[in-house]
Chain A
Amino acid sequence: MENMIVSMTLELKDIPGQLVLALAPISELHGNIMSVVHQHEEKTPRGTIPVQVTFEIDQGFLDELIEKLETSGVGVARVGEERLRSSVSVVLIGHIIHSDIGDTIDKIDKTGFAEVVDLSLSMPAIERTSSAYLVINAVGIKELKKALEVLREVAAKKELLMIEPIRLNSEAA
């Protein structure tokens, strides 16, 4: 299971309820919708309404998704793979804020091949350690591993406990 980020242009009929019809199959296949651009005023020559959807999904589900969309009457005009196609989740524990979270994220973003695309923080109390959940996207698996190495170094320097997912390690084994 490798997640990829996909950008799709869908064509919807100009009747109510079509947007939900288009987005539901993505969620059903455990896709994570990242952005939806719906321009009602810009119709195609075919009289349909174009919608740009960007989402993260397991590679193995992509064909099934396109089939589902087309069966439900949603046109799939374009399927593009986003530049940042590999994704990994990481949890950090420690003095995340006081060790400059901005700098931590910067170190990844500065690589040029990887970015922190999601961040959730939990700070229970001032004197207690905080926890963070990060999603890092990169252009490929190799680059993702390099980004993780960068983060490992930063975490070690800042005395943060870094919890990595099992999958990357198992596939590397």
Chain B
Amino acid sequence: MKTARVSIIGFGAVGQGVAKAILSKNETLIEQGIDLRVVGISDSKGSEINADGIDLESALKRKKQKGTVAKCKDDALEIIKNVEHEIVVEATPTNIKNGEPGSSNMFAAFGSGKHVVTSNKGPLALRFSELKEAAEDNGVFFRYEATVGGAVPIFNLIHEALAGNRVIGIEGILNGTTNYILTRMAEERLTYELALKEAQELGIAETDPSYDVEGIDSACKLVILANSVFGQAATYRDVEVTGITKITPEALELASKNNYVVKLICEAGNGTLTVAPRLVPKKHPLAVGGTLNVASILTDMAGRITISGKGAGSIETASSILSDILYIVRNS
């Protein structure tokens, strides 16, 4: 039996999803010889620490009832540095301005010899190469499958399954909110404003939607992809970004009459990074609808490989995080 001790830093939708995933998969994992124990959970108000393993069910219940998991005042950094464990799951919210508190949490984890698994895009979009170096210097794993494409295993596909291939270019839809808005505009001939309102009512778009509709979220994900796959040292400011706010239902109708759909497409290749609305032939594998995400990877040996799936959601994101945790447990 391999025992791995985990901390969950950030207990919002993603962090709770991870707790639920570990809870529901516990028996299966034990059968596979893996004993995952969560020894620390922290949110913005405090934390719970238990060296023998936290009762996740009661932690989730307490979070739901009281809005916090807090049983003590210790903060995230204290758990990361002082509680004995192997893997830090960094699931605090994305901050694109300075990457905090994610960056500090990750550097602290590396500094104290702990592996990091994260869903937090901010630190990776701003300081990818520094983080990667810090992980390498300390001989620990740095896994971030959940940062791009939600449940879609893009990094696993490229780094493991397609190992040995040279990646020539990547294109994809990496933001489910804009895909939903464009899909609804095309299907129902809605204006941008109406489709956005509908998405907000369904909880697909935020109250302040600019992060999604201006293409910033897509740009962050594209940067993480490019840095990870091409070894670039780009930041999201290097991406040429055009959002979807100016798109009209008439434009979508004209495109549709000529067998195209319009999608907010991320493109990396030739050293350039672009996020822009593009005409995609209706039968093209990138023409996925609803909130789906999709990535198409052009390689020298395998040719073109396209994967699509759910790009957001608590349990979907937890799927990627759990997969990264298990990768570390199996390979360390």
Interface of A toward B, CB cutoff 8 Å:
89-91, 93-94, 120, 122-124, 128-133, 161, 163-167, 169-170, 172-173
Contacts and interface: CB of A to CB of B under 8 A. Distances in A.
A9 to B, nearest CB: 28
B154 interface: no
B279 A166 contact: yes
Contact of B279 (A120, A123, A128, A164): A164
A98 to B, nearest CB: 15
Q: Is the interface of A mostly helix, strand, loop or mixed?
A: strand
Contacts of A131: 248, 250-251, 254
A122 B250 contact: yes
B270 interface: yes
B248 A170 contact: no
A152 to B, nearest CB: 11
Contacts of B224: none
A89 B278 contact: no
B58 interface: no
B66 interface: no
A99 to B, nearest CB: 14
Contacts of B286: 166
B169 A173 contact: yes
B278 A173 contact: no
B254 A169 contact: no
B242 A166 contact: no
A127 B279 CA distance: 26
Interface of B: 168-169, 171, 242, 246-248, 250-251, 253-255, 257-258, 260, 262-263, 265, 267-270, 274, 276-281, 284, 286, 296, 298
A89 B260 contact: yes
B290 to A, nearest CB: 19
Contact of B269 (A90, A167, A173): A173
Given A133-B258, A163-B262, A164-B278, A173 B253 contact: no
Contacts of A122: 248, 250-251, 253-254
A129 B284 CA distance: 28
Given A120-B254, A165-B278, A173-B168, 12 more contacts: A89-B258, A91-B260, A122-B251, A129-B246, A133-B254, A133-B255, A161-B242, A166-B280, A170-B298, A173-B169, A173-B270, A173-B298
Nearest to B298: A173
B251 A163 contact: yes
The 10 closest A-B pairs by CB, nearest first: A173-B169, A173-B269, A122-B250, A131-B251, A133-B254, A131-B250, A165-B279, A166-B278, A161-B246, A131-B248
B35 to A, nearest CB: 45
Given A161-B242, A166-B284, A129 B258 contact: no
Contacts of B276: 163-164
Contacts of B267: 169-170, 173
Contacts of B263: 166
A13 to B, nearest CB: 34
B250 A130 contact: yes
Nearest to B304: A170
Contact of B171 (A94, A124, A170): A170
Contacts of A120: 254, 257
Contacts of A91: 251, 254-255, 260, 262, 279
B260 A165 contact: yes
Contacts of A128: 248
A169 B278 contact: yes
14 contacts: A89-B260, A90-B279, A91-B251, A91-B254, A128-B248, A163-B247, A163-B276, A163-B278, A166-B284, A167-B281, A169-B274, A170-B169, A173-B168, A173-B171
